[in-house]
Amino acid sequence: MSKTSFFKRYSGRLAVVFLLNVVYVLLTVFVFVMIEPFVKLLFRGTLEGLSPVSAFVMEKVGAVVPLDSLSRSMVVVIVCAALLFFLRNLAAYGSQWVMAHVRSDFLYRLRNRLYDKMISLPLGYFTKQSRGDAVTRAVNDTQEVEYTVLTSIQKFLTDPVALLCYLSFLFYIDYQLSLWAVLLMPAAFLIIGFLSHLLKRSSKTYRERLGVLLSHVEETLSGLRVIYGFNAQERAYQMFSRLNKEFHVNQKKVYRQSYLANPLSEFLGVASVMVVLVIGGTLVLSERSSLTAELFITYIALFTQIITPVSNLSSAVADYRRGEAALDRIQEFLAIADTVEDKADAQPVNRFENEIRFEDVSFSYADTDTDVLRHITLTIPKGKTVAFVGQSGAGKTTLADLLMRFYDVTGGQILMDGVPVNEYKVTDYRRLFALVSQDVMLFHDTIFHNITLGCEATMAEVEAAAKAANIYDFVMSLPDGFNHVVGDRGVALSGGQRQRVSIARAVLRKAPILVLDEATSAMDTESERLLQEAVEALSKQCTVVVIAHRLSTIRHADCICVLDSGRLVEMGTHEELMKNNGTYHQLVVSS
């Protein structure tokens, strides 16, 4: 979200915040105006000789409440000051109350946009970037924006107004003395500005190192079985310790630079007060100025209030520069181009009628010029089972990804029912597919919600899908049945059980095309048999595309497509390919 869109969306509320801050500052000025009459009454017992502003205020007060005695006048001045102070704080609370909505709504919308972007990123994004970096941008960078950028904007709406009003009144009291105060301020801003530049640069490095650290933690948690199996805890710890040390050194640098802004600006502010005290005191004692002792006390009291907005502005600039690094990373993340997008005139689609055809299809990933697939031509007829086989790296999964339009081809075209698939709306087209992959993704939720993922369904429909996937009896043996929570990534279930839950998910979707991406590669014999029965039952209702690791599972496929180094080298039934004594025959013999 750009700064321009931010101010445009919240312009009305920010205007209210600004106006309330103006009221707050003006009331603050009038609170300090009451100091002069109070000091006059306290030390001289009279209101004569007040400055024009104080005299005007007391004249208006006297029109409401008679100031006919010293004691009454003292009480009235004190009550007026207290009332003004109460109204001042009420305006301050009103400003904070309105700003609370701006802050929370901005973060709410930003998180939604980041999550929406995260779940629509091109699949190839994570081949170059770590998941930890994406999480850092979505969570930590967002929090950094809240703590720094939004807080700074709030200060920018408050403190310049306060500074301008305070200075205006100080110049009204004594312009010569105020000139000295103004001349002392640029030095503070120059010093803080230099510090802010260093801070932004350090903060960007801080964000990047945090992303690397979180990525390592995420990888560790995902690979605990491997770490335990190879006794690699010490190596994992040493790597984490090194990354954490690098992050710690940079974090310490950022903190020290950030913490320096406030005390430095406060010191410069207090130094300014000391200079003003010396010069003003000299003017009062020399009696060469119209500045009286009472008015000088008011002047000093009001001048001390400048320290806070100057300090706030200095720290706001530093915080904004620090948060700008996080905001830049968020905007960079949101600007990632989607490699698969709808055309302006994309047409809807809700059925698969005849066939899907690959015509001279080639494909290479964005970060390489080497073709992963080269000149593939094949047809997938409706209602048939088509299998892709080949050595690891032959291009089987990439072919399936192109089929489901997770990527767009870089050469040739794919047509469904005679229409290029990029002419269809992406979401409509993908709705025609159900995917069961080798790496089953179950969420930390109930079996029911893992089966219904992405669609609405009744319990009866879920039970029917579970029966079709040969998982119903197992689910009913659990104490909570379909309300059983499967744990993180489905850890409470075996590999075969997770796979059959994903089959039930595919059955429930009732998609006309089922894609099985090496779905049985990690199964035992019994789990594979149950899954095969479920797939055979499902294949009677839809078109099945199988990416096979175990060749025994695709012997009865209507067509087997053999890939080798990105090329389609053979096609046919199991019997036909075995007779050819080619690549497929070698794969079967060696398996």
Residue 361: band (very low, low, confident or very high) from pLDDT cuts 50, 70, 90: very high
Do 300 and 83 form a contact (C-beta atoms < 8 A)?
no
Is pLDDT larger for residue 340 or for residue 23? 23
Query: Which two three-digit tokens encode residue 110?
Result: 């930003």
Q: What is the mean pLDDT of the chain?
A: 78
> What mean pLDDT do residues 61-90 have?
82
Phi, psi of 284 (to 5 degrees): -65, -45
Q: What is the pLDDT of residue 245?
A: 83
pLDDT at 566 over 60: yes
C-alpha pair distances (Å), 250 with each of 148, 202, 206, 244, 253: 18, 7, 6, 10, 5
pLDDT tens-digit series, residues 511-545: 888 888 866 555 556 666 666 666 666 667 788 89
The CATH number of 355-590 is 3.40.50.300
Residue 306: band (very low, low, confident or very high) from pLDDT cuts 50, 70, 90: confident
What is the amino acid identity at position 427? T
| Residue whose entry in the numeric block shows the structure tokens 């105060």 | 181
Closest to 436 (Cα-Cα) out of 318, 548, 360, 330? 548
Numbered ranges of CATH 3.40.50.300 in the chain: 355-590
Phi, psi of 69 (to 5 degrees): -150, 160
pLDDT at 570 over 60: yes
Q: What is the pLDDT of residue 415?
A: 94
Is pLDDT larger for residue 40 or for residue 257? 40
Q: How many CB atoms lie within 10 A of CB 226?
A: 11
Selected from 1.20.120.160, 2.170.130.10, 1.20.1560.10, 3.30.420.40, the CATH number assigned to the domain covering 3-334 reads 1.20.1560.10
Q: What is the pLDDT of residue 162?
A: 81
| Residue whose entry in the numeric block shows the structure tokens 């700064």 | 3
Long-range own/partner contacts, residues 191-197 (CB < 8 A, 24 or more apart):
191/264, 191/268, 192/261, 192/264, 192/265, 192/314, 192/315, 192/317, 192/318, 193/317, 195/257, 195/260, 195/261, 195/264, 195/318, 196/261, 196/317, 196/318, 196/320, 196/321, 196/322, 197/321
Q: Measured between alpha carbons, how far is 100 from 94 in angstroms, rounded to an integer?
A: 10
pLDDT tens-digit series, residues 402-421: 998 888 888 999 999 999 99
What is the amino acid identity at position 166? Y
> What mean pLDDT do residues 465-493 have?
83
Q: Provide the 3-class DSSP secondary structure of residue 462.
A: helix
β-pairing, 411-416 vs 419-420, is antiparallel
Is pLDDT larger for residue 387 or for residue 205? 387
204 Cβ neighbours under 8 A, 6+ residues apart = 325, 328, 329
Numbered ranges of CATH 1.20.1560.10 in the chain: 3-334
> What mean pLDDT do residues 442-455 have?
82
Range with top average pLDDT, 160-169, 305-314, 420-429, 533-542:
420-429
Integer Rg of the chain from CA: 36
